[in-house]
Amino acid sequence: MTQPVRQTLTLSCGEELSFLTAGSTHQPAVLLLHGFPSAAHTFRNIMPTLASDAWLIAPDLPGFGASDMLPSTTFATLADAVEELLERLAVGPRYIYLHDFGAPVGLELAMRAPDKVLGLIIQNANAHESGFGPQWAATRAFWNDPTPDNAKAATAHLTLEGARDQYIAGVPEDLAARINPAVWQEDWRVMSLPGRLAAQRELIADYGRYVARFGAVADHLKARQPPALMVWGRHDSFFALDETISWMQALPRMEAHILDGGHFLLETHAEAASALIGAFIRGAAERPA
């Protein structure tokens, strides 16, 4: 199997963007967008397998992993950085993998250039009100009234324990035992670097602006109806399972698989997810235009 190669790009703003690639540029491109609090290493267990089917590009979003922070941290500026990466690599039509924070970035890119989207791969990524359970109450209160007290409550998960919970909260004990603690410990090490927690607070605030665009996202999906594959971890403590129904209603021809994993599905179900994603990409020629 082909192991991913790490590269670095100096953005036009002067900041460094780190990313992984695997596969051949002659294959269909797949942009892999990770979520909080992770980085491109989220995809370490699927990239070697999928490299036989696709050209894979997995950036550490700015402020995550080995990528520098940007002067202004919003999902739009993260999308700007990824868009520049795609342009510099001469990536044409592409599939976009959406996970968690990767959803506002990937959907922003899709809406900017819809004709370049070959399809969506949706993995525990929210784009509907149905995805928000009771645990979002403090965050939503902050979006509605950004007082210091509400900000403190909405960002209380920016700790080592909060990083850990992204991986194992709500996950059955036997599955949680399969996840190496070194993964979230590395996430927390990066998040603890100077300025990184401030950038995370900015993204928590900006996620509220993404939610305010759900109507525009819905209009885009309704009009474009991109081919789509869902691989979803059912034991997700952060996005309610009802969100899967909303995605299926938005994209009624979507192929949907609910797997026995958590928010970070690829930590425990990389083999199953890789097989489904590979089949989805290989099956592109059989789908109606």
- Could you tell me which of 63, 74, 110, 10 has the C-alpha nearest to residue 203? 74
Alpha helices in the chain (DSSP H): 47-50, 75-88, 102-112, 137-144, 148-154, 160-168, 173-176, 181-191, 196-212, 214-224, 242-250, 266-282
At CA 199, angle to CA 198 and CA 200, rounded to 5?
A: 90
Q: For residue 289, what pLDDT is reported?
A: 57
Kindly state the average pLDDT of the residues 101-116.
98
CA dihedral in degrees (259, 185, 210, 19; nearest 10)?
-90
Q: What is the CA radius of gyration of the chain?
A: 18
Count H helices, E strands: the chain?
12, 8
Strand 55-59 with 16-22, pairing = antiparallel
Residues facing residue 21 across a β-bridge? 5, 57
Q: What is the pLDDT of residues 207-265, one digit of tens each?
A: 999 999 999 999 999 999 999 999 999 999 999 999 999 999 999 999 999 999 999 99
Give the fold, CATH level 3, of 5-132+211-286.
Rossmann fold (3.40.50)
Question: What percent of the chain shows pLDDT beyond 90?
Answer: 96
DSSP lists the bridge partners of residue 58 as 20
Cα(53)–Cα(27) distance, integer angstroms:
7
CA dihedral sign of residues 237, 243, 244, 245? positive
Q: What mean pLDDT do residues 156-178 have?
A: 97
Whether 31 shows a pLDDT value over 90: the answer reads yes
The residue-averaged pLDDT of 177-205 equals: 97
Q: Is the pLDDT of residue 285 over 70?
A: no
Query: How long, in residues, is the chain?
Result: 289
- Tens of pLDDT along 121-164? 999 999 999 999 889 999 999 999 999 999 999 999 999 999 99
What pLDDT, on the 0 to 100 scale, is given for residue 284? 81
CB of 66 within 8 A of CB of 75? no
270 pLDDT band (50/70/90 cuts)? very high
Query: What integer pLDDT is reported at residue 2 of this predicted model?
Result: 81
223: left (phi over 0), alpha (psi -120 to 50) or beta: alpha
On whether the CB atoms of residues 67 and 59 are closer than 8 A, the answer is yes
What's the N-to-C CA distance of the chain in angstroms?
32
Contact 190, 160 (CB under 8 A): no
Distance of CA 233 to the CA centre of its chain: 13
Q: How confident is the model at residue 184 (pLDDT cuts 50, 70, 90)?
A: very high
pLDDT at 288 over 90: no
Question: Domain ranges in the chain?
Answer: 5-132+211-286
Say what the pLDDT of residue 1 is: 72
Sign of CA dihedral 61, 129, 222, 261: positive
pTM: 0.97
Average pLDDT over residues 173-192: 98
